Amino acid sequence: MTMASAYPCLVPQRKTGSERFHCNGIDAGFDLASFWQWSVSDLVSNATRGILAEYIVAQALGVAGRIRNEWDSFDLTTTAGVKVEVKSAAYVQTWYQRKLSDVIFRYGPKRGFDAATNTVEREPRWQADVYVFALLKHRYKSTIDPLNIGQWEFYCLRTSTLQSRTRSKVLITLKSLQKLDVKPVGFDGLKKAIEDAARPNASLSAPTGP
C-alpha cells in the first residue's frame, strides 16, 4: 500500500457550532461554538480580518456554502470557474496606534501546493485570475465594526494588470491602486466588479509606482 492510498486527504464536513467536545464519547461540557468565540472574536485582528474578507467576497459571489480550504493556491472560485485571490487591509488595528495604519496590500506569484499529493510547485506563478483588494475603510476605533459591510470597499483587478506593473510585484499601496483605472465598489457591486475584471479586455496598462 502506498503512502498516498494509506493517508489520503481528509474531506472536512461543514460544522454547525453545536458539535460537542467529548472524551471517548463522554460529553466534556463545551461545544465547538465556544471554541469559535474564544479563537476568532477579534474580527479586527489581521489574521481573522483576512479570513472574514474572504468570507464576505464568497457571500457576494454566492459560493459561501462551500468550506474554506486554507491550502488552496487561491482563495475562491466563482460559479463560472474564475479563480479569485482576496487581500485585506485596514486603517484601524486591534493594538495601540499612534496613527492610522498605511494601507498596503501584498500580492504576487507563489508556489502552489497540491494537498492531494503533498507536493509544492517548483516555480512561483500567478495562481488567480482576479485579485480583490478588500479595505476595511472605517477610521474610528470607537465604532469599527467589520460585520458592517458598509465599512468595507473593494478594488477588483485582473491579474494581468498587476503583472504589467513596472516596479513592485509584491505590494501595492492604496494610492498606487487608486491610480489604476479601477473604482472601489461596495458589497452590492462586488460580484459584477469581479465578473468585469475577469473579462480578457479588462487588462489595463499600469503606471509605475510602489
The distance between the two most distant Cα atoms of the chain, rounded to a whole number of Å, is: 62
Q: What is the predicted pLDDT for the residue at 205?
A: 38
Closest CA to 193 of 78, 44, 65, 22: 78
Residue 176 one-letter amino acid: S
Q: What is the predicted pLDDT for the residue at 206?
A: 39
pLDDT tens per residue across span 87-102 = 999 999 999 999 999 9
Q: What is the predicted pLDDT for the residue at 5?
A: 64
- Each domain of the chain, given as residue ranges in start order, spans 43-202
Residue 122 one-letter amino acid: R
Which residue carries 460537542 as its cell? Answer: 20
Q: For residues 122 and 109, what is the distance between their CA atoms, to the nearest angstrom?
A: 12
